Each structure stands twice: as C-alpha cells, then as structure tokens.
Structure 1
C-alpha cells in the first residue's frame, strides 16, 4: 500500500501556488534542492508527471491539476487536526452543572461528542439540585448550568419542555394504595408541585422517606414501596412510567433551562452549548417546545 506524505504534498501545493521551486522553498524555509527532491519522490510514488518543466515557468500537468485539489484538502485537514489537538487555545476546563435527574441519558452522549472535538479541554461535571446549581452559577462556580424548572426563567434559554410523570416499580402496585406513599427528595424542585397536585386531586399521601439521596429514593421506588415523579424519558431502568389511568393526578410540563449559553467563551463553549441544545431538543417534539416557549 502506498501512502502519501503530507510534507511532500505541502511542497507540491507551495510550488503550484508560487509558480516556482525557488519561491516555494523560501515560503517553506527549505532549500531549493530539498523541495525538488520532495517533488521527485511524489512523482515516483504516483508514477505520474505532475509538473510540466518544458517552459520558462513550472506548470501543472493534467495529473498535477487533479492532485492539487486533493493535496490542498489533505494539508488543510492535517493542519486543522494538529491545531485542534495541540493549540493552547483549545486547552482548559469548563464547569458544567446538571441536576441529578437529567444526567441520563443525555449528558454522557454530550461529553463523549465534546471530548472527540476538544480532547484537551476538561469538562468538570457538577451534579446537584436546581437550587444549589443556580446558587453556584451566581457565585461564578459554574460556567454553564442546566436546571429543571416549572417555567422559563429570565436569563435562561429553554432547551426542552418535558412532562412530569409518575414512576414506580416495574409491574408494581404501590400507586394503588391509599394513602399513596411518596418518595421525593426533600430538596427536589418537583416536590411542592407533586404535593400540590395530590392535594388538589384529593389523593391522600404519606412521605415514605425523608432523604435527598437519589439512590435511596430510587431503591425505595424500585422495591415497590413508594412512587415518585420524574421527567419523562430520564428515568433509570429499574423503574417505569406508571399507567395509572387517572388514579393519580396529571402533572405539568417542566422546562430544562440553560444558563451561561450566551457567554463569551469562544468556540469551545459555543460547541458545548450546541451539543446540549441538539441533544435535549431530541427529547421534546418541536411543536410542543414551540408552544411551551
């Protein structure tokens, strides 16, 4: 298998652009003989004449003209890759805050795609409840945050509008019991909304446990000892959406709001913002998002 060398292609492009080996050598900071040798090796590798040397100036042959377009693209791609991987402009750290309940399934995908584009930039992921994240953002401890809130907030961009739904154990019956046992974190922003919905619907309830540990709450629900509310499509595999047929009250839409997406962080921050927008947009039908916003 024959492999083209970027250095020889760069010399070929320089000769084609400058119209001569001497000027190309000066541009490349090489000797004239070095450039001539690279061109000769390139022609020998391809088995083609790339330059017409019969005139007073060097011209491209038909094969040389065909190669030139490819050579430009290969040199440009090489330089872009080297810059992206080594340029200090693409080094550093971004602190991204995300509520626990919307980390999956979206955020791992975003982090993977971002790392492929900027492998030298570290994304420090901070997970906490919405209130905590907003406090951290105000103090400058996070560059960007996502929140789950019941409305679009000033200074925020809506990425998705997703309904709250009731979650329970797969095939469980806890939702049928009265009073219904509720497992919702004490600091969870959904908790007052869920309690208000139950009160309005006249459904009796008890607090099954008083905790802010997501794992503890999920384990309680997965054991069919309680129910909880989560955003549709963000639940772990050991719980499922309850088909309650109206036995539990309907819950409202919630917004995934984005703070810090309009900052001046340059290409790196803009790319992370675009990945977040694209990923969460897939979770909300366009018509529903447009109507909600």
Structure 2
C-alpha cells in the first residue's frame, strides 16, 4: 500500500481552497509546474484522476471530491501528533501579534490546540494593524505575527490568500445614492487601498461615508447601513453579509497574508508558526 504524503495533500487542499493550480502554487510556495507534478504524483498513488478540465481551469473528479475530507482529517491528525511530540517538554513564552480579523476567526481554535500540546508555554497576544505589528516584530517585541502582506519579507514562513469581498449590513444600505458610500479604516490599510484602486479603475463614483481607526468602529458603521466595506469572509458575521449583486460592484483581488517569524525565535514560536501556516487559511474558499 502506498502512503499519502502530507506534502502532496497540502498542495491538493491548496488547490481545493484556492480554486486553481496557480493559486495553489502561490500558497505552498512552489512553481505551477511543480504543483502540477505533485498532483500527478498524488493521482498515481490514489490510482484515479483527481482533477478534470473545467472551462478555462480545472475542477475535482468524484474521486477528488472524496479525497477532500480524508485529506483534511489526515493532515489534522498529522499536525496533532507533530505538535504533541514536539511540545510536551517545551517551556517559555511566545509573543504573537495578529490583526483583529484573525483574533476573531481562526486563531482561537489554533491557540487552543497549541496550548494543549505545549501546556508549559505562556502566550502573550497583541492585536493591532499589520504595519504596527510588522514594526513590533522587527523591534523584537514579537516572536511571530499574522499580517496582511504588502511586499515580500525575508522573515515570512507561511503565505495564504483569501478572497476580498464587498460587505454590507444584512438590512442593506440605509440610503441609496449615486455615489457608493464606503466605510474604511484610516490609512494605511491594504483593504482601503484595494477598494479605492478597484473603484477608480472601474470608473465608479464613491465617497468615504465613514472612517475608523479600529475594526470595531468599522463594524458599527457597516451594521448601521451607513456604508459598505471591503474585507474577507472573516468579517461577514453578526449582521454583516456579502453585498448584493444588484449594486454592480467591480470584482476585487485576493488578499494575501503572511505568517512572519522573528529573528532568533525559539522552538515554541517556530512550532506555533508552523501550526498557523498549515491551518489558518479558511477552508473551502475559491478564487
């Protein structure tokens, strides 16, 4: 019996979650040709085709769809075993910085898993904005950080992408007007830059109807129906939903995020960075 290599399964799930081989290549840090070779190797092991031509891209065969659930379970058990063996005797502290989106969605579950496998490690958590967290990491105030990626950095140990979405109150906009009302974080914000650049390129008129220095303020403005905003699916809860198609909003790019590890980080921080790199991306999203 041949073994299902976890690296091959990670690449397979990167395709499933990203929707294309090119996106999978970006997520796993390999060339598109290397990703294609990995998928061919996985098909050889399984003994059946996993991908099929679908329009301009590729989709999953029935065997591919069956493999998705198995792959997620195999990688979850693999990660659990790896953490348990490495973390049982580890001690010390890990200072982690994250943006509010991940503090609300995804990170709590992974910190729980880390605390279970590293019971003697103290966690210090800092929530802030990407630029601030990057500066703190470089200053040695953080061991690792989850940030929105603006430019490549030498300390990146994990990359993943999630679709940006136009979001609004589930009750809709309070007032319909010719100019599109936007709620945006104060500069600098990658989502702000993407929203304005996209609307400018599309020739769509807009006005900044609400600004905030925090995601809590942004959420209040969007929930009130004052304006819509641009974030990821992590922000779409508690009364906030994807904006309806009738608004005719232009398509937006993927948001790219990085797990960055500080220079000289000790083993517990490296273990946590590996756990986040493998598991933080939202499953089941397509580009």
Q: Which interval holds the TM-score relative to the shorter structure?
A: 0.5 to 0.7
Deviation at 1:236, TM superposition (A): 3.2
Assess if the C-alpha contact under 8 Å between 2:178 and 2:205 holds in 1: yes
Note if 1:173 corresponds to 2:183.
Answer: no
Distance in 1 (alpha carbons) for counterparts of 2:224 and 2:99: 24
Contiguous gaps of at least 5 residues in structure 1: 1-79, 289-293
Distance in 2 (alpha carbons) for counterparts of 1:195 and 1:234: 19
1:31-64 Cα deviation digits (max 9, x unpaired): xxxxxxxxxxxxxxxxxxxxxxxxxxxxxxxxxx
Distance in 2 (alpha carbons) for counterparts of 1:167 and 1:175: 16
Q: How does 1:73-92 map to 2 (within 5 A)?
A: 84=88, 90-92=90-92
Change (3 A) 1:175 1:102: farther
How many pairs are equivalent?
202
Change (3 A) 1:198 1:160: same
Note if 1:148 corresponds to 2:148.
Answer: yes
Distance in 2 (alpha carbons) for counterparts of 1:152 and 1:236: 30
Deviation at 1:246, TM superposition (A): 6.7
Q: TM-score, normalised by structure 2?
A: 0.63
Deviation at 1:234, TM superposition (A): 4.2
Distance in 1 (alpha carbons) for counterparts of 2:152 and 2:247: 28
Q: How does 1:152-231 map to 2 (within 5 A)?
A: 152-173=152-173, 177-187=177-187, 188-231=189-232
Distance in 1 (alpha carbons) for counterparts of 2:228 and 2:211: 13
Contiguous gaps of at least 5 residues in structure 2: 1-83
Deviation at 1:105, TM superposition (A): 1.4
Distance in 2 (alpha carbons) for counterparts of 1:284 and 1:259: 24
> What is the match of residue 274 of structure 1?
274
SS of corresponding position for 2:227:
coil
Assess if the C-alpha contact under 8 Å between 2:164 and 2:254 holds in 1: yes
SS of corresponding position for 1:209:
strand
Structure number, greater radius of gyration = 1
SS of corresponding position for 2:199:
helix
> What is the match of residue 133 of structure 1?
133
